[in-house]
Amino acid sequence: MSTSQHQSKSRAINPIGLNRQQLLQALQSTEQGLTEAQCLRLQQQYGLNQISFHRSQSPWRMLLQEFTALFPLLLLGASALSFFADRLSPDAGYDLIALALFIVVVLNALVSFLQNYKVEKLMLSFLDYIPKQVALLRDGSLQIVDAKQVVPGDILSVQEGDKIPVDGVLLEGEQLVLDESILSGESEPVIKTALDSKVQENNLVSSGATVLKGSGRILTTRTGRSTRIGEISQLSQQVTQDLTPMQLELTHFVRRITWLALGIGTSFFLIGFFIGNPFWTNLIFAIGIIVANVPEGLLPTVTLALTQSSVRMGKRNALVKHILSVETLGSTTVICTDKTGTLTRNKLHVESLFMDFTEIDGHNLAAYAALPGARPASEIMALCNEVIVTANGSQQQLHGDPTEVAMAEFVNRHSGYGAIRKRFQPLHSRPFDAELKYMSATSRTAGGTLYMTVKGASGVILDRCSEVHSEGLVRPMRDTEREQLTDQARHYANQGLRVLALAYRVVDSADADEQGLIFVGLVAMVDPPRPEVAAAVTACHSAGIRIVVMSGDKAETVAYIARKLGIVKTPRVIEGAQLSGMSDAELRTTLQDDQILFARIAPEQKLNIVQAFKELNEVVAVTGDGVNDAPALKRADIGIAMGLRGTDVAKEASDIILLDDNFATIVKAVEEGRAVYDNIKKFITYILTSNIPEILPFIAYVLLPIPLPITVVQILAIDLITDILPAIGLGNEPPEQDTMQRPPRRRDERLVSYRSFIRSYAIIGPVEAALSFLVFFLMLDSGGWQWSQPLASDTLLYGQASGAFLATIIFCQIGNVMACRSNRQSALPYLLRFNPWILSGLLVEVVFILSILYIPLFHRFFSTAALPLWIWPIILLAPWVIFSIEELRKWLVRRGVEYLSV
């Protein structure tokens, strides 16, 4: 039977509304559980209880994919043309270009493959989501079995700390409290009640939830991919991903450069034909022009820049799964973020207290300690508490219900949780009851007095209080005071805080009723914002990035956190029910309100929000950790999963994993992404510039009766030796000061715009070519060469002229790389700014050109010869000419001549 059939049969059982007997009958089960024979048959029907979070890829297929992108195909095409040209002209060096291009593609593919394969292995290491073993009833006895063997109809036994591996109905339970945040996004624990008459929502449990407190027996209704968590996983696998902005830009650039190269090559093939040159001569030089136009060094330089940026982000706790994601994050215009654990700590703490009819900040322990009611309040929070304290070396760890842990930690900071409990002898306790909405504990004091402490829902506790502890005295509670306390509790709740009331009384017996209590105060708790997030939000706003909270939590809490962090000023919260009634057009209109927040939303609604933003032409980043976030993570332009508490599904769907679960890390990554885009733009402009002094010599050679100023081997030396390290240096430039003060780049902004081509092909490139031709002809003239006079390539004069042409290009590129270190601002301050890659590149350029000019061993291969000293002042002046022209261009741009910008 197929997997889809398994799933459809499993989904057919909807437990809502069924009574216990009907439910067991529908699942072919009994109170004693299934038999082994039934389990074998049901396993054939439903399959194993497992979910494939990550589809592992064949390493060979991953490697092959590195060769199928447009840029590698362009370089492989150029390599093939070069091999063909070598057959036509064997001694021109085309075979070296062909081999070099092929090696560049292979090395680049290996670098990219190793990065992706490393992430692939990391993803496989995450796959430990469903617990390995579970306790269940089989043949009437409790057995420990592999969790994969669980089938619908099995009755599982769970206790505190267990992770639930199935969807099911709670048949029996004692104070079962679950953490369902990975599914719902809600930080507050969920109390489940055992099946009474008919199945209701609060009887249902979901795969992936963790038992925080209590124990119970669960009747399995769905397993594997039919569970809620499995369905969301499938939804995320059905979502398609678009090409990243960088992929689109590189594709656009490669198409441009391909058509440009083919256009120039074809044009001069035809020109050569019309002026009477032989066909094969024209073809060879057309191929030379096409190959010279292909930036051989660009592919490895882009890959290295992105890889190094990924490594830097890794050191900042952001694991990059796909290196192109680095730049995408820099293009982001909207960040859709979950609340729990991303903006907040995913841990409740005491935010505020209301005692003696005075509000006290939960962080101000001195103000709290000064209150007369602080002592009884601390005693209630410590004694009426079921937190378990464990020792981890010298550190104490608190375990239990998050609200109780928050109170225990607060008391610990004030007077010591353990110290208070040591002063009392516990006698009796009433665990928290979901119907009664309170809990109590009775203890004996050192003097023998029986002391009852109570905490619970504010309305319930106030109804049971007849007196109030105020100003150190106990007195009857007035009606106006009761109303004031009720209003204060409502005020806290409206702000999204979780409110509990504290009370006590002296009793005669340990099991006395919780009536006639003395009211002490209100405690308001919240999952607080991470301390560094507020600054990160401010940085996002400065950078023109909008933040939208998409949470499964309640509206009041979402609004409170968003307002406190400065995400919005006047929050407008839309809940899931309201969102489900909106059309796509209405949603797009709604999203244009920058005060919008989302609460109580389902996973598919997060996906709809992301899709609507993309239709508004926004570049969307989505953060999340739960299974409910996975579809939106995958559909976003860039998905960011949490590494510490993120589920496997979320990590699989994401592009970047935050190893510290910190929203502030995203801001650092955005800055890195913007810097890498700026830097790629810089070194593309730098690399393109040398195309002109490489192409024009071929054109001049075809049209004019002169020797060929530069050889194919020399072009190869420029593209793959002297230009590479400086280009990598530009790729590693730190972010400019205004990087996070400017808005994100527009969707229609090109990585290499026509202005970039004008800068490289119409301004700096022609100047480099003119300076190189000047030095070339000066050398020829000094050797007595006459116009149209043939000059053999093995003569000393040709070697000097050709070497001088090459030296001038290389020194021009030194001025060019220094000028490219800034886009609009003057590059003068950058002359002394240390960049090890650029400095190393400059040293390599100088050592290389001096070596091939003055070491005879290299003369024949590179067609060079030693230059006389008198020519060097002109060559050394060339970089300053280039740098000065660039400074003039930038000066004009800063004064409004925008068509000169790049």
Residue 197: strand, helix, or coil: coil
Cβ-Cβ contacts under 8 Å for 854 (sequence gap 6 or more): 866
SS (H, E, C) 424-441: CEEEEEEEEECCCCEEEE
Helices (H), 176-335: 181-184, 228-238, 245-274, 279-293, 298-315, 325-331
Q: How far apart are CA 595 and CA 574, in angstroms?
A: 11
Q: How far apart are CA 341 and CA 661, in angstroms?
A: 7
Query: What token pair was written down for 859?
Result: 């003369």
Other CB atoms within 10 Å distance of the CB of residue 569: 9
Cβ-contact 316, 300 below 8 angstroms: no
Q: Buried b / exposed e across 603-635, counting CB within 10 Å, b at 16+?
A: bebbbbbbbbbbeeebbbbbbbbbbbbbbbbbb
Residue 320: strand, helix, or coil: strand
Beta bridge partners of 391: 396
Q: Which of 211, 224, 218 has the alpha carbon at shortest distance from 157?
A: 218
Query: What token pair was written down for 341?
Result: 């654990």
Catalytic position from the list 86, 167, 179, 338: 338
Q: Which of 455, 516, 459, 506 has the alpha carbon at shortest distance from 482?
A: 459
Going 235 to 238 to 242 to 243, the CA torsion angle's sign is positive
Q: How far apart are CA 100 and CA 79, in angstroms?
A: 8
What single-letter DSSP state applies at residue 764? Answer: I
Q: Which of 749, 344, 736 has the alpha carbon at shortest distance from 527?
A: 344
SS (H, E, C) 455-522: EECHHHHHHCEEEEEECCEEEECCHHHHHHHHHHHHHHHHCCCEEEEEEEEEECCCCCCCCCEEEEEE
Could you give phi then psi for residue 530, rounded to 5 degrees? -60, 140
Please name the amino acid found at residue 502.
L
Q: Which of 727, 638, 613, 651 has the alpha carbon at shortest distance from 330?
A: 638
Q: How far apart are CA 887 and CA 207, in angstroms?
A: 63
Q: How far apart are CA 44 and CA 418, in angstroms?
A: 54
Tell me which H or E stretch contains 214.
strand 210-222
**Exposure on the CB side of residue 492, measured as CA atoms within 13 A:** 26
Q: Buried b / exposed e across 290-301, counting CB within 10 Å, b at 16+?
A: bbbbbbbbbbbb
Query: What token pair was written down for 853?
Result: 């000019």
Cβ-contact 289, 636 below 8 angstroms: no
Q: How far apart are CA 116 and CA 119, in angstroms?
A: 5
Q: How far apart are CA 819 and CA 831, in angstroms?
A: 9
End-to-end CA distance of the chain: give it in Å, rounded. Answer: 61
Tell me which H or E stretch contains 134.
strand 133-138
Q: Which of 190, 197, 196 has the alpha carbon at shortest distance from 176?
A: 190
719 classed as catalytic:
no
CA dihedral 600, 606, 611, 613 (to 10 degrees): 60
Cβ-Cβ contacts under 8 Å for 238 (sequence gap 6 or more): none
Query: What token pair was written down for 461?
Result: 């506790």
Instruction: Give the catalytic positions in this structure.
Output: 338
